[in-house]
Structure 1
Amino acid sequence: MRKSREETARTRALIVATAAEEFRRTGIGATGLAGLMNAAGLTHGGFYKHFASKDQLVTEACASLMIDVTDSLAQRALKQPPGERVAWFVNSYLSPRHRDDAAHGCGLAALGAELARGTDETRDVAAQGVKHMVDAIAGLFDPPGGPGAHARAQTLTAGLVGAITLARAVNDPALADELLANTAKTLLASVAA
C-alpha cells in the first residue's frame, strides 16, 4: 500500500526531528542510521526512501536545530522589559538546565566541532545558524539593532556557545557552574559598557 504525500511528509519530518535530537544528544558521527530510525519508531530500510545519504539528513536536520532554540529563547526574552531582554537571554542560555539538556539545546554548542568538519552544505547551514542567532540577539538590545548591536551580538554569540561547550566538556560540576556564571557576568558587563 502506497503512502500518501502527507504521510510521506510527516514521516520525513519525524526523521528530521529525531535526527536533530539524536545528533545533539550523541553527536553526528556517533549517530548511526539504524539507531536513528529505531528512535523514530521506523525501520532502517525506510531511510533511503526519504534521503539519498546521511549527509543530506545532517544538512536538513541541522537547518532546523540551528533556529529552534534561538527563536524560543528570543521570543521569551522579548516578553521581558526592554532593558532586561539581553540579560534574560544570556542567563537562560547559560543556565545549568540548558547545559544539562544537550539533546534539546543549542545545535551550535552541541555540534560546533563536528559542523566545522562537515560538508560545505552543512557548514553553510551552520553559518546561517550563527547569523540567525546574532540577528536574534541584536534585536534584544534597547533600542533593537542600535549602534554596535551587531558586533556586540556576535561577541555574545561566541561567548555563549563557547561557555556552554566548555561547561558540557568538563566533568567537574563546580567548574561547569563557575564557567557559566562567570561568563554570563563578564558578557553582560561587556555589553553594558
Structure 2
Amino acid sequence: MMHIMRKTQTNIRAAAKEASHERIVQAAARAIRRSGYDGTGVADIMKEAGLTHGAFYAHFESREAMLAEAADRAGAESNAFAARVIAAAPPEQALQALMQTYLSKEHLAGIETGCPVSALGSEMPRQSPEVRRAATRRIKEMIDLVARQSPDWGQPGAHERALVTVSTMVGTLMLARAVDDPALSDALCSAALKRLAPSGA
C-alpha cells in the first residue's frame, strides 16, 4: 500500500514538473519571437510561466538549453500551422494558400506566434550551436513541406524550387516587417506573391 502511495506521489510530482516545463517552453517560444534571443531573459520567462527564478535549473541546464527548446517549439508550431493550411486547401492550390497565408497582414502583425525564422533569422548566426541546430532542423522541415507540394516531389527540381520559395517568403516577411512604410510593406508582399504564385496575384 505504501509503495502504491509513493508511486502515485512520484507520478503526481512528475506530471506537475512536466506541466511546469511545458509552461516555460511555451512562454520562451513566444518570447524569442517577440523580443529576440538576446531580449529573452530567464527571470522574465519564469515570471511569465508563473514560476520562481530559482526553479529554472530543475528544468534546464542552461539558458541556451531553454532557448534551443524554445526554438524547436516555435518551429514546430509554425510548421504545424503551415501543414494545416496546406491540408485545408485543394492539392493544386495548397502551395498558393500557404504563400498567401504566410505573406498575409495577419502573419505580418503576429510576430509573437508566427514563423520564428522570419522573426529571428538575422540573430541566428550569433546563437549557440544547440540553438542553431534546433532551428535548422525545423527550417529543413519547412523546406520539405513546401517541396512536397510539387508534382515532381522527390526530384532535385522540386527541392530547388522549395529552397527559393522558402527563402523568398522568409526574406519578404522580414523586409515587410522591417520597413516603417505600410505601402512599401504591402508592395513587398504583393510582388513576392505575384512572382511565386502568378495565378494567385
Name the TM-score, length of structure 1 as normaliser: 0.91
Distance in 2 (alpha carbons) for counterparts of 1:177 and 1:37? 37
Contact 1:78 1:140 in 2 (8 A): no
Q: CA deviation at 1:145?
A: 4.4
- Which runs of 5 or more structure 1 residues have no equivalent in the other structure? none
Contact 1:83 1:142 in 2 (8 A): no
Is residue 11 of structure 1 aligned with residue 20 of structure 2? yes
Give aligned pairs, total. 190
The residue type equivalent to 1:98 in the other structure is H
Is residue 180 of structure 1 aligned with residue 189 of structure 2? yes
Q: Name the residue aligned to 1:156.
A: 165
Q: CA deviation at 1:79?
A: 2.4
Match of residue 103, structure 1, among 112, 119, 126: 112
Is residue 94 of structure 1 aligned with residue 124 of structure 2? no
Q: Name the residue aligned to 2:124.
A: 115
Greater relative CO, 1 or 2 (CA 8 Å, sep 6+): 1
Contact 1:71 1:136 in 2 (8 A): no
- Which runs of 5 or more structure 2 residues have no equivalent in the other structure? 1-8
Q: Name the residue aligned to 1:77.
A: 86
What percent of counterpart residues are identical?
35
**Which piece of structure 1 moves more, 142-151 or 125-134?**
142-151
Q: Name the residue aligned to 2:38.
A: 29
RMSD, aligned α-carbons: 1.9
Contact 2:153 2:159 in 1 (8 A): no
Q: CA deviation at 1:42?
A: 1.6
Q: Name the residue aligned to 2:55.
A: 46
Distance in 1 (alpha carbons) for counterparts of 2:25 and 2:173? 24
Contact 1:137 1:153 in 2 (8 A): yes
Distance in 1 (alpha carbons) for counterparts of 2:152 and 2:88? 15
Q: Name the residue aligned to 1:137.
A: 146
Distance in 2 (alpha carbons) for counterparts of 1:171 and 1:9? 42
Q: CA deviation at 1:148?
A: 1.6
Q: Name the residue aligned to 1:166.
A: 175
Q: CA deviation at 1:155?
A: 0.6
Contact 2:23 2:49 in 1 (8 A): yes
The residue type equivalent to 2:57 in the other structure is Y
For the pair shown, the structure with the greater C-alpha radius of gyration is: 2
Contact 1:115 1:123 in 2 (8 A): yes
- Cα 1:12–1:40 change in 2 (3 A) is same
Distance in 2 (alpha carbons) for counterparts of 1:141 and 1:83? 9
Q: CA deviation at 1:144?
A: 4.6
Is residue 127 of structure 1 aligned with residue 136 of structure 2? yes
